[in-house]
Amino acid sequence: MPTRRDIMAGLGGLLLAGLPTLARHAAGQTLAMAELRGGFDAADAGILPGAEDDQSRKLQALLDAAAKAGQPVFLPAGTYEVANLDLPEGTRLTGVPGLTRLSYRGDGHLIAARDVKHISLSGITFDGANRWLADYTEGLLAFRNVGSVVVEDCAVTGSRKYGLHLAQCGGRIETCRISGAAQAAIWAIEGRAFTIRDNDISDCGNGGILVHRWTKGEDGTLISGNRVARIAATEGGTGQYGNGINLFRADNVMISGNHVSDCAFSAIRANSASDVLITGNQCFRSGETAIYAEFAFEGALIGDNLIDGAANGICVVNFDQGGRLSTVSGNIVRHLVDTGPYPQEVGGFGLGISVEADTVVTGNLVEDAASAGLMLGWGPYLRNLVVTDNIVRKARIGMRVSVVEGVGQVVIANNVLQDLQDGAIVGYRWAERTTQDLVEGGGGYAHLAISGNRVG
């Protein structure tokens, strides 16, 4: 097997063969010094920042050689013009955070890796310069079937598609800054217990962090401590785009301790995602529903979140599609407006918390809701709700509860309802109000057990 010295000497010979004798001697001394330090230094192989020529071929050769030798590659501070780098098994590429920049020259992709076990990137800014990306790639950095992708202390900016696209990958993205992606910052598909932690994501065209699966099943991704801001929905729609954190068919995911603001639609949206944990997040100025658990899910624990500013606060709905089984507890939800990013439909906007089936709603505080503090059920889609020990104040109506024939049981007890314009607890048939205030009892509806509530 060749030694590291053999490899560096070979690279040095290829890259410096055209230099004068004295320059070749000096380069040889530099390579010898690199040997003592351990790892491969790009400068030692003649890859220099600021060079006008395309350095892709040189850097690809160095990455291949270093991976074969089991060594990392270090890129000194500066800007390197490159494109179409394919990372071999075992790549470990490191730079100086904030100072080492790989600038995409166009004509394909910037970084890609496929069918390998481990890739590690740290301390590098990947600048897409908003240049065209080929049809075969989904992101500026694209990984497929990689056992462990580790991207840390990096920046990704100016992608014409996704910032990072990961299909069937494990690993983690940590303490990175991702901005200016035309689509989303991160799109992870069919993940393998991935971790997305402590990143700063902003100013993306259609999404922040997307965790999706083609077929519904266990995903296990952990999403924590991220700051996500200013997410648009340039492709429109009614919720497919414009979400800070979005799950689709991904079960067993934890979303905790994130700060999400100024998203065109939801701060956190879980679509057909079972056994999801959404706790301790801050959600500010959401254009539609701040926290959403919708469609075909079973199991959603939504607790101790703070929501300030949204069209709707928390929605746990779509019992008609199998959406059921949740707890909504300890949340603060305030400043809900009755306008959203599309014409009102179903229950409308301005709702604090909406739930439908097999759900406990307890210990929440809803304040300043343009329509209702709580909406319990929609038409016939209501079953087994326990609503206790909540505070609703400054709302048009305290609680809207469905009284359509055939609905399930509802317990509404020991809540404080204050400063309401048009009633504390009111029965609805779909979107039509059909009862007077029911706060003193069930109003003759056998499915309602209403007691111990305080109205002021």
- Nearest 5°: the CA angle 330, 361, 334 is 55
Q: What is the CATH number of the domain that holds 258?
A: 2.160.20.10
The DSSP bridge partners found for residue 211 are 188, 247
Determine the structural domain holding residue 216 and report its residue range.
120-455
For residue 427, being part of any structural domain is answered with: yes
Rounded Cα–Cα distance for residues 8 and 2 (Å): 10
DSSP string, 25-82: HHHHHHHHHHHHH-SEEGGGGT--TT-SS--HHHHHHHHHHHHHHT--EE--SEEEEE
**Domain-located, residue 77:** no
Instruction: List, as one string, the DSSP characters of 141-193.
Output: EEEEEEEEEEEES-EEE--SSEEEEEES--EEEES-EEE--SSEEEEEES-SS
Rg of the chain on CA atoms, in Å: 27
Residues in Cβ contact with 260 at an 8 Å cutoff, skipping those fewer than 6 apart: 208, 226, 227, 228, 229, 244, 245, 267, 268, 281, 282, 283, 284, 286
Under 8 Å between Cβ of 181 and 204: yes
* pLDDT for 6: 53
pTM over 0.85: yes
Give the pLDDT of residue 39. 85
The pLDDT value given to residue 356: 98
- Is the backbone of residue 107 left (phi > 0), alpha (psi -120 to 50) or beta? left
Task: Quickly count: other Cβ atoms within 10 Å of residue 349's Cβ.
Answer: 22
- Of 408, 410, 376, 381, residue with least CA distance to 392: 376
Domain count within the chain: 1
**Assigned domain for 359 exists:** yes
In a domain, residue 233? The reply is yes
Flag whether 125 is in a domain: yes
What would the DSSP string read from start to end of 336-348? E-S--SS---TT-
Q: Which helix (H) or strand (E) holds 5?
A: helix 4-16
Strands (DSSP E) contained in 175-297 are 177-179, 184-189, 195-197, 200-204, 207-218, 222-224, 227-231, 243-251, 254-256, 259-263, 268-271, 276-279, 282-284, 289-294
> Which of 417, 325, 414 has its CA nearest to residue 366?
417
Task: Show Cβ contacts of residue 361 under 8 Å, excluding neighbours closer than 6 positions.
Answer: 327, 328, 329, 353, 355, 374, 385, 386, 387, 388, 390
1: which 2 tokens? 């097997």
- Tell me how far apart the alpha carbons of residues 202 and 112 are, in angstroms, rounded to a whole number: 23
451 domain-assigned:
yes
Pairing of strands 425-429, 432-437: antiparallel
User: How many residues would you count in the chain?
Assistant: 456
pLDDT values of the chain reduced to their tens digit, one per residue, 456 residues = 444 445 444 544 443 343 344 334 433 443 333 443 468 999 988 898 988 778 999 999 999 999 999 999 999 999 999 999 999 999 999 999 999 999 999 999 999 999 999 999 999 999 999 999 999 999 999 999 999 999 999 999 999 999 999 999 999 999 999 999 999 999 999 999 999 999 999 999 999 999 999 999 999 999 999 999 999 999 999 999 999 999 999 999 999 999 999 999 999 999 999 999 999 999 999 999 999 999 999 999 999 999 999 999 999 999 999 999 999 999 999 999 999 999 877 778 999 999 999 999 999 999 999 999 999 999 999 999 999 999 999 999 999 999 999 999 999 999 999 999 999 999 999 999 999 999 988 788 999 999 999 998
In contact, 190 and 168? CB cutoff 8 Å: yes
Q: Give the CA distances from residue 273 to residues 187, 249, 393, in Å, rounded to whole numbers and listed in that order.
A: 16, 5, 32
